């Protein structure tokens, strides 16, 4: 079955992208979780938002399903900041051919056969 065409993450399609991330092969998912946890631009705003909500969840990516669930419950401005940082992180991985040489395994959708302006 062909993968959907690439679309940058927005707050509207964030849940779909999260599901695609969770469906990644376990070794790739572990690498992505490690990169997410090491990205302070991604995790620091989440930690601050969770603290303001009095939630006892750490944005350390050890339990991505619980982390993603908590993110989806945050205010839109915090989710928007997360989306921007996640797009940046995924773009960095894309440049490193982490999602295949044509980006065919990108959780945002396949980069194959994209029209380039």
What is the tens place of the pLDDT at every residue in 13-22? Answer: 999 999 999 9
The verdict on residue 24 lying in a domain is yes
Domain ranges, residue 90: 14-95
Q: Of 23, 48, 46, which is closest to residue 36 (Cα–Cα)? A: 46
The verdict on residue 87 lying in a domain is yes
> Do residues 60 and 43 touch, judged by C-beta distance below 8 A?
yes
Going from the C-alpha of 9 to that of each of 27, 42, 53, 108, the distances in angstroms are: 23, 14, 24, 7
Query: Which pLDDT tens digit goes with each residue over 28-85?
Result: 999 999 999 999 999 999 999 999 999 888 776 778 999 999 999 999 999 999 999 9
The verdict on residue 108 lying in a domain is no
The verdict on residue 4 lying in a domain is no
The verdict on residue 3 lying in a domain is no
pTM over 0.75: yes
The verdict on residue 85 lying in a domain is yes
Number of domains within the chain: 1
The verdict on residue 20 lying in a domain is yes
The verdict on residue 30 lying in a domain is yes
């Amino acid at each position: 079955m062909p993968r959907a065409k690439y679309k940058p993450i927005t707050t509207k399609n964030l849940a779909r992208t999260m599901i695609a991330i969770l469906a990644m092969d376990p070794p790739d998912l572990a690498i992505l979780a490690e990169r997410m946890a090491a990205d302070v631009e991604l995790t620091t705003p989440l930690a601050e938002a969770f603290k303001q909500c009095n939630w006892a969840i750490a944005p350390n990516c050890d339990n991505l399903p619980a982390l993603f669930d908590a993110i989806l419950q945050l205010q839109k401005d915090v989710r928007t900041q997360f989306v921007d940082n996640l797009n940046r992180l995924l773009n960095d991985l894309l440049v490193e051919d982490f999602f295949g040489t044509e980006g065919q395994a990108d959780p945002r959708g396949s980069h194959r056969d994209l029209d380039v302006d």
